[in-house]
Amino acid sequence: MRRLLLALATGCLAAAPAAAAAKAPIPGVRTPSGNIRCLYVPGASPTLRCEIKSSSYGAQLQARCLRIATLDWHGFELRPATKGRVTCSGGILYSPDTQRPLYRRLAYGATWSHGGFTCLSALTGLTCHSGRGHGLFLSRDSWRSW
């Protein structure tokens, strides 16, 4: 019985560090259809990273990324002081060991703001902008940045 109690106590102590090392949630937003989602990645240069599951231009951007950077097309990014741009990468652009995305469904006509970025969801697509006036629009049929 004493060994069993010691084993149980040891198991509980071993689980405590795992609970303390929980992944930090990083806020994000997704359209009601789930086709477009954006994630706020904090840091020295905070970034809004957006991706789209289904679009008419995805194959073209994939080919562009492979030609220019020999990397996969990952989506788009918006930073506070620069216009939105296409992101070519080899993988996940946040730290999955310490962070976990937490996407909130954004109803059409509603806005979401975090870290100096604001996004507006509409039937026509998702528009996000920085506090400095740069932005990104995404829809199934088109994208643009300013």
Q: Where in the chain are the domains?
A: 22-145
Burial class (CB in 10 A: 0-12, 13-18, 19+), 133: exposed
Q: How far apart (Å, rounded) are the C-alpha atoms in residues 36 and 137?
A: 11
Which pLDDT band, with edges at 50, 70 and 90, does 10 fall under?
Answer: very low
pTM: 0.81
pLDDT 10s digits, 17-59: 555 579 999 999 999 999 999 999 988 999 999 999 999 999 9
For residues 104 and 96, give the distance between their C-alpha atoms in angstroms, rounded to a whole number. Answer: 18
Instruction: Pick the more confident residue, 9 or 26.
Output: 26
Are the C-beta atoms of 41 and 93 separated by less than 8 Å?
yes
Structure tokens given for 31:
């359209």
What confidence score (pLDDT) does residue 118 get? 98
Q: The dihedral of CA 110, 115, 116, 117: what is its sign? A: negative
> pLDDT tens digits for 61-87?
999 999 988 888 779 999 999 999 999
